């Protein structure tokens, strides 16, 4: 690979790291072609981009970003695959599901919204992280429940002012 090609790869990786807040590093070495193809399909279905990268080029790209990847560059040894997603737990779920049939991929580390996770032992924790949409749904559900109580009280009072006041006073007492 020429110096210009390396510079272009670093530039592309830097842009990819800057654009995404969810980055997983995994080891997929030892997978045969068919298994790797199945992994790529599983990633595609889950909205995860999978790229095999050179460690030195990825390390330089990490240093070139505005983000602090902390000690994540220390796991850049051996075969490294970059998994990028818009959902925090999607790559972890793909890895966990895929490992039911294979011993790979192995999670090396992850960068999720400025939080850094290092080691394969963090896989269960990462797969349980709620997505942004799930958290918003939980908040909306919590905000709606007092309004639902008032509406049900209004309906149970029979629609008259006296009935509504009676129902509300009984709920307070």
Assign residue 81 the CATH number of its domain: 3.30.70.1730
DSSP 65-104: SSS--GGGGGG--SSEEEEE-SSTTHHHHHHHHHTTT-S-
User: Do 90 and 138 belong together in one domain?
Assistant: no
User: How high is the pLDDT of residue 73?
Assistant: 83
Name, in order, each residue with C-beta under 8 angstroms of 137's C-beta and a sequence gap of 6 or more. Answer: none
- Which residue segment(s) compose the domain that 149 sits in? 133-172
User: Do 108 and 123 belong together in one domain?
Assistant: yes
Name the pTM for this structure. 0.73
22 vs 110: CA distance, rounded Å: 7
pLDDT by position in tens, the chain (length 173) = 788 888 888 889 888 888 888 899 999 888 889 989 999 999 999 999 999 899 999 999 998 888 888 888 888 888 889 999 988 888 999 999 988 888 889 999 999 888 888 888 888 888 887 777 777 888 888 787 776 766 666 666 555 666 667 766 776 65
User: How high is the pLDDT of residue 162?
Assistant: 67
User: How high is the pLDDT of residue 49?
Assistant: 93
User: Do 121 and 164 belong together in one domain?
Assistant: no
Name, in order, each residue with C-beta under 8 angstroms of 131's C-beta and a sequence gap of 6 or more. Answer: 87, 88, 89, 90
**107-73-14-87 Cα dihedral, nearest 10 degrees:** 30
User: Do 57 and 139 belong together in one domain?
Assistant: no
Total count of domains within the chain: 2
User: Do 9 and 46 belong together in one domain?
Assistant: yes
166 vs 145: CA distance, rounded Å: 21
User: Do 45 and 96 belong together in one domain?
Assistant: yes
User: Do 59 and 100 belong together in one domain?
Assistant: yes
User: Do 119 and 160 belong together in one domain?
Assistant: no
Contact 30, 81 (CB under 8 A): no
User: Do 68 and 26 belong together in one domain?
Assistant: yes
DSSP 18-74: HH-SEEEEEE-TT--HHHHHHHHHHHHHTT-EEEEE-HHHHHHHHHHSSS--GGGGG
User: Do 66 and 141 belong together in one domain?
Assistant: no
């Amino acid at each position: 690979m020429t110096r210009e090609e390396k510079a272009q790869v670093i530039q592309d990786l830097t842009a990819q790291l800057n654009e995404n807040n969810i980055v997983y590093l995994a080891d997929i070495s030892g997978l045969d072609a068919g298994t790797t193809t199945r992994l790529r399909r599983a990633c595609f279905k889950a909205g995860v981009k999978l790229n095999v990268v050179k460690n030195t080029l990825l390390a330089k790209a990490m240093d070139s970003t505005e983000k602090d990847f902390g000690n994540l560059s220390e796991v850049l040894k051996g075969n490294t695959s970059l998994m990028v997603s818009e959902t925090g737990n999607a790559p972890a779920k793909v890895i966990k599901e895929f490992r039911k049939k294979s011993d790979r991929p192995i999670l090396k580390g992850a960068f999720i919204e400025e939080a850094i996770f290092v080691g394969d032992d963090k896989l269960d924790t990462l797969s349980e992280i709620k997505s942004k949409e799930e958290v918003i749904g939980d908040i909306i559900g919590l905000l709606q429940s007092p309004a639902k109580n008032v509406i049900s009280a209004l309906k149970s009072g029979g629609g008259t002012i006296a009935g509504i006041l009676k129902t509300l006073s009984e709920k307070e007492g």
